[in-house]
Chains A and B, each alone.
Chain A
Amino acid sequence: MTATMTAPPIEQVAPHVVTKVRDGDLKGAQMGLLGAGIAMLALSCAFGMFADGDTKKRFFFSYLVGYMGVLGICLAALFFTMLQHITRAGWSVVVRRIAENVAAVLPFMLLLFLPIVVGAEHLFHHWWHPNPADTVLAGKKAWLDSTFFFVRVGIYFAIWLVLAWFFRKQSLLQDQTGDPTINLRLARLAAPGLLLFALSITFAAFDWIMSLDPHWFSTIFGLTYFAGAFMSFLAFTVLFARFLGSKGYLKDAITTEHYHDLGKLLFAFMVFWTYTNFSQYMLIWYANLPEETAFFEHRHHGGWGAIGTLLIFGHFFFPFAFLMSRHVKRHPVGLAFGAIFMLVMHWVDMQFLIVPNFHPTAAAAHAEVPHAEGQSFVGNFTHGLGEWMHGLTIHDFLCFFGMLSFVAGMALLNMRKTNLLPTRDPRLAESLHFVNI
């Protein structure tokens, strides 16, 4: 057998699988998601960007939370696509088109970067307009420079857009030709692609989150952002596939077996997120150096301490116990609940990373709500949670969930245009028939 043979069409491999969304079907859902997303984002931008003072500043932080949370999902979709090619994965072929179509939303994420451009001097004001007496910042001027910052935005997006476009285009081409050499080519290109991806997502996390507090630094930061992003992509994919399944699409292709595998990966990367965050926290706590502990010091006030606790329990202990079970991962409602829960936790995680860098101007700073010393753990926690909720704005919800809705809508739009799965991938049959032991 030579590689010049073509892969058989899906009609031959699995005649029962519906490969395309029927004309006009799912249009309502797509328009609903897009409409809700755009409306939420537009509303938030209209009221946030054109407000003044602290309201405006705070809006940009909410926007950044939504942006980084959802951008991570799109980036991890690109990562997932390349990962499946480089490992010659068989099980995941039926899921891969979803990832390709989510990654295809990245050009719109470039468009959605515009409010950050507008708000950059508010978000990054520490280094955008540095204090001339600050010699530490003067030493970083070569990197934390507004022009170079935008040049880097261009470089990151150039990498992501080209990779996302190329991998999707080749996969769609294979739907027509059935040419198996496309797999070889993509597997080969995934290697340098993943290298560029690793570097670009690292520096993007440094630039867009870590530099909010330009004095603080952590070598693991890029990895922690990636871990959370990949985890949330898996949660997103579980829900997206389940939605399609509920409408009668892909339900014979993405079976319990594939959900089980997605659930395993979701569990694994939830734990990996914990591992990277524990490494970061433990080492900073242990060394107790003021330039590093400042990061957690900020997150002890304004209710953020309770959010840190919430993340330990909600982003690790509970899902660890919940998603551990094989039964839960194979249960449609169980896994969907786990996925929704992890997406919410991802939002909380992004909040925890970004929003404590918002410092209201002195006059407007509201006094911390007094609370009795020596309260119980639960008392402190609920008090802190209340304080955090008090600091939340409507934009925190609108931006994250608006962005999520928009990306889901765009992904659905893409899914309606393309085949629902790579119909002539040579490993399609393997994927369709795959079972866990």
Chain B
Amino acid sequence: MTAITVIDEPENPLRRAPLVEGKNDFASVTDIVARVAENKTPKGWYLLFGIAIALLLNLGAMIGYLIFTGVGVWGNNIPVGWGWPIVNFVFWIGIGHAGTLISAILFLFRQKWRTSINRASEAMTIFAVMAAGIFPAIHVGRIWVIYWVFPLPNQMSLWPNFKSPLLWDVFAVSTYFTVSALFWFVGLIPDLATFRDRAARAGRTVAARVYGVFAFGWHGGNRHWIHYEKAYLILAALSTPLVLSVHSIVSFDFAVSLLPGWHTTIFPPYFVAGAIFSGFGMVLTLMIPARKWLGLHELITLNHLDNIAKILLLTGTMVGYAYGMEFFIAWYSGVPYEQFAFINRATGPYWWAYWIMVSCNVISPQFFWFRSLRRNPTVLFIISIFVNIGMWFERFVITVTSLHRDFLPSSWGYFSPTIIDVLTYVGSFGLFFTFFLLFCRFLPILAISEIKGVMPEANPHHGHGDHGGHGGHGSSHKGHSGHGHAH
């Protein structure tokens, strides 16, 4: 393995910074990504996987206990009928938003830097949506009739309530999961073929066979690529409204109610901004260690991290805008219940949760105003953890503080989680990390073919003598302009 160079030069508007650094060509990019799956499994992986599996088993045990005993094992009470399960559901579904944003919206905006993080983010999305789906399912209490959430014709003429956003959630989340999984899988096909061919050449026939099944006989022909590019563009266009719709509908779960603190018109875009914020937080939490341990510095460069940090600053500030609007309008509305709900959030029994939320979500990303902090992986990793914590607390604050003190003081109460609540939530990380670690071990964790597509060599005008090395020199081109730019 050659020494890894980390380039950290000042921004220069005269050229686009290269997206792949170091002395890499197509072959070496394939090598960097493929060796992650081909090398001997590192001991650290077994350690992490063991922990993840233990947590996953714990999740199974908790769900089993819940089903055999009943939802009374949770801290949910009257008035707080929605406790941690809904908080966890919204937390995970929010994390699932970065993948589609990166693969769909950043694709339509021609943000070429997305190529080195889209694969892992999409995988993260799928696993996060799986973790999310568990909570509403087990929250129904009688999980053996969970299929009733679907409008299935039946002799009892029993239909779900189509006017309920909880039902819209069923449709929105299952659509989202399906489209995200399709998108992810379509993107994987060329890289799976690469893995197949490498395995076959190395004599690993079983691996070659398995990769081969999923590679659908891809051999990189012209016709394959034409269809592939078209499918990718169509899936991107289909996914774009989904990025907004899923979390908008999740926000409707709260906002269609009459409850102060839930019922406010900014909820849909505010939830979407929060979801993207939390999703990018989790992307950093996962990719910074992966970049370090798997030696991906030349593909996931400081510029990539810098861009993610900027998105965190933007979306964190948008969330801050929404908090501010809620507070201002609560005061401006003149409705005493609205005013009370927000003062109670900030100063009531759950004041600590509110201020954890504000500090983590609004204050911590403000460090990213400084370029040096945006390009410091340690700082990024620490703040990404704060973002994860803060976004969980945001859902906790919304769910619990509005419920625990409503219009009638005689029905006020307090919510405390039980140990089962805590272990179930911790267990959901087991599910998430089990899948993510398997993904890291066996699948191409970066989109090999897409990364090659943004390298200078992929430019049809490459090597015609009007430039050399990396980066676009927009000014010196006779034909099309520099690299890292759409053609």
Q: Are B258 and A429 in contact (CB under 8 A)?
A: no
Give the nearest-CB partner of A291 in chain B: B335
B427 in contact (CB, < 8 A): no
Q: Are A291 and B252 in contact (CB under 8 A)?
A: no
Residues in chain A near residue B258, CB distance under 8 A:
287, 289
Please give the distance in Å from B374's CB to the nearest CB on chain A. Answer: 12
- Specify which of B10, B12, B334 is in contact with A140 (CB 8 Å cutoff): B334
Q: Are B265 and A283 in contact (CB under 8 A)?
A: yes
Q: Are A434 and B481 in contact (CB under 8 A)?
A: yes
Residues in chain B near residue A286, CB distance under 8 A:
256
The answer for the CA separation of A82 and B270 in the assembled complex, in Å, is: 22
B479 in contact (CB, < 8 A): yes
The answer for the CA separation of A220 and B270 in the assembled complex, in Å, is: 9
Residues in chain A near residue B244, CB distance under 8 A:
275
A340 in contact (CB, < 8 A): no
A311 in contact (CB, < 8 A): no
Residues in chain A near residue B267, CB distance under 8 A:
279, 283
- Specify which of B268, B332, B473 is in contact with A275 (CB 8 Å cutoff): B268
Q: Are A139 and B334 in contact (CB under 8 A)?
A: yes
Q: Are B255 and A283 in contact (CB under 8 A)?
A: yes
Q: Are B333 and A291 in contact (CB under 8 A)?
A: yes
Q: How large is the interface on A (under 10, 10 to 19, 20 to 34, 35 or more residues)?
A: 35 or more
The answer for the CA separation of A2 and B15 in the assembled complex, in Å, is: 10
Give the nearest-CB partner of A188 in chain B: B371
Q: Are A184 and B11 in contact (CB under 8 A)?
A: yes
B148 in contact (CB, < 8 A): no
On whether A437 and B486 interact (CB within 8 A), knowing A12-B475, A195-B317, A219-B326, the answer reads yes
A180 in contact (CB, < 8 A): yes
The answer for the CA separation of A140 and B338 in the assembled complex, in Å, is: 14
Please give the distance in Å from A219's CB to the nearest CB on chain B. Answer: 4
Q: Are B13 and A283 in contact (CB under 8 A)?
A: no
A-contact bits for B467-481, CB 8 A (1 contact / 0 none): 000001111010111
B266 in contact (CB, < 8 A): yes
Residues in chain A near residue B322, CB distance under 8 A:
219
Q: Are A219 and B487 in contact (CB under 8 A)?
A: no
A350 in contact (CB, < 8 A): no
Please give the distance in Å from A223's CB to the nearest CB on chain B. Answer: 6
The answer for the CA separation of A427 and B480 in the assembled complex, in Å, is: 12
Q: Are B265 and A220 in contact (CB under 8 A)?
A: yes
A202 in contact (CB, < 8 A): yes
A-contact bits for B311-333, CB 8 A (1 contact / 0 none): 00100010001100110010011
Interface-centre pick from B258, B334, B485 (highest chain A CB count, 10 A): B334
Q: Are B325 and A202 in contact (CB under 8 A)?
A: yes
The answer for the CA separation of A3 and B13 in the assembled complex, in Å, is: 7
Q: Are A426 and B13 in contact (CB under 8 A)?
A: yes
B263 in contact (CB, < 8 A): yes
Q: Are A287 and B14 in contact (CB under 8 A)?
A: no
Q: Are A287 and B334 in contact (CB under 8 A)?
A: no
Please give the distance in Å from A183's CB to the nearest CB on chain B. Answer: 4
Q: Are A2 and B12 in contact (CB under 8 A)?
A: yes
B-contact bits for A262-305, CB 8 A (1 contact / 0 none): 00100000000001100110111011010100000000000000
Please give the distance in Å from A174's CB to the nearest CB on chain B. Answer: 10
B175 in contact (CB, < 8 A): no
- Specify which of A5, A13, A195, A283 is in contact with B263 (CB 8 Å cutoff): A283
The answer for the CA separation of A429 and B486 in the assembled complex, in Å, is: 13
Residues in chain B near residue A275, CB distance under 8 A:
244, 248, 268-269
Residues in chain B near residue A437, CB distance under 8 A:
229, 486-487
The answer for the CA separation of A429 and B16 in the assembled complex, in Å, is: 12
Please give the distance in Å from B199's CB to the nearest CB on chain A. Answer: 32
Q: List residues of A (243-272) whose CB comes within 8 Å of B's CBs.
A: 264
Q: Are B486 and A436 in contact (CB under 8 A)?
A: yes
B482 in contact (CB, < 8 A): yes
- Specify which of B11, B334, B474, B479 is in contact with A428 (CB 8 Å cutoff): B474
Q: List residues of A (1-30) whose CB comes within 8 Å of B's CBs.
A: 1-3, 5, 7-8, 12-13
A310 in contact (CB, < 8 A): no
A169 in contact (CB, < 8 A): no
A-B contact pairs, 21 of them (CB 8 A): A1-B14, A3-B12, A88-B13, A91-B110, A91-B486, A139-B334, A143-B332, A217-B333, A219-B325, A220-B265, A220-B268, A223-B266, A275-B248, A276-B269, A283-B252, A286-B256, A426-B14, A427-B13, A433-B480, A435-B480, A435-B486
Chain A residues packing against B (C-beta within 8 Å): 1-3, 5, 7-8, 12-13, 88, 90-91, 135-137, 139-140, 143, 180-181, 183-184, 191, 195, 198-199, 202, 206, 215, 217-223, 264, 275-276, 279-280, 282-284, 286-287, 289, 291, 426-430, 432-437
Chain B residues packing against A (C-beta within 8 Å): 10-16, 108, 110, 229, 244, 248, 252, 255-258, 263-269, 313, 317, 321-322, 325-326, 329, 332-335, 369, 472-475, 477, 479-482, 485-487
